[in-house]
Amino acid sequence: MAERRYLGEFEHFVLATALRLGRGYGTELIRELETCTGRQVQGGALYATLDRLESKGYLISEMGPPDPQRGGRPKRFVRVTPEGLRALADQREAFLRVWNGMEARFEDA
């Protein structure tokens, strides 16, 4: 079996959320992550994770135009790369293999 680099839990959430949004930026990602996970997300944790995912080749980022509502600062938009999509698919397959047949355990609980 080929060696795979699995994503950490928060990396997985961030990458999947970026994929869901298509081309998102920090505030959108935080809002969507909080809605989907029910957890509070700190901007620092998000941006550190975005940097890590980009260094792995799973995301690319680009700066948008200056935004007057942000005091002229641009937004950083991110998109998932084909490698990032593969990492998500690999992780999903691994989760499905691990969970295969476990439904009965939940019914018994």
Task: Compute the distance between CA of residue 52 and CA of residue 18 in angstroms, rounded to an integer.
Answer: 14
Listed by start position, the domains of the chain span 9-108
pLDDT given at position 28: 95
CATH 1.10.10.10 fits 9-108, yes or no: yes
Task: Compute the distance between CA of residue 93 and CA of residue 58 in angstroms, rounded to an integer.
Answer: 17
* 3-state SS string for the chain: CCCCCCCCHHHHHHHHHHHHHCCEEHHHHHHHHHHHHCCCCCHHHHHHHHHHHHHCCCEEEEEEEECHHHCCCEEEEEEECHHHHHHHHHHHHHHHHHHCCCHHHHHHC
Residues 28-47: tens digit of each pLDDT: 999 999 999 999 999 999 99
Low-confidence ranges of the chain (pLDDT < 70): 1-4, 108-109
Task: Give this prediction's pTM.
Answer: 0.84
pLDDT given at position 14: 97
